[in-house]
Amino acid sequence: MSDQCVKEIGLLFLFLIITLFVSSCGPVVIRDQAVYSAEMDFLDAAVEEQIERGIALINEHCHCETMMGVKGFTTTTCNDLAETILVLKSRMKYHTNFMRYLGGLIDKRPEKIPPEIPVTSSLCPVEPLELPDSLEFDIDAGTDGGE
């Protein structure tokens, strides 16, 4: 066996020993738990605020129609915004809880299957009900006109 071959086998053996040593270590959390917890709380609060703002924007500027039996937004922009909001609303808490679990902040592992994402039409704004002219109410009707 040549000296070069012995060196390569020795380096390979050393690499395997180091790899086994490093991989046998248990999980180690490097970050400060209080700081990481505050970061997760901030992330949850920021996402919740953006969800509320997005829903307000949809309610003010977006409209839905039913076409061929399927209700949906009339613009791609509104549909995309609704999809983003629904993904955040249904999945963000799941992901931040998983981050808390992986960061050692909580002991209970979140479910393996993330929550379902609802269809975008579930955020369609409720159109105000318009009453026909014949149903207008007369406030003074039914009073005797004086007391």
How far apart are the C-alpha atoms of 75 and 78, rounded to whole Å?
5
> Bigger pLDDT: 141 or 124?
124
Label residues 125-138 b or e (16+ Cβ within 10 Å = b): eeeeeeeeeeeeee
Q: Which of 141, 140, 147, 85 is nearest to 117 (CA)?
A: 85
Q: What pLDDT, in 10s, does the model give residues 4-24?
A: 777 777 777 777 777 766 666
Q: What pLDDT, in 10s, does the model give residues 15-67?
A: 777 776 666 666 666 678 899 999 999 999 999 999 999 999 999 999 999 88
Stretch 100-110: mean pLDDT: 91
117 in Cβ contact with 86 (< 8 Å): yes
Domain boundaries, the chain: 30-123
How far apart are the C-alpha atoms of 116 and 135, rounded to whole Å?
43
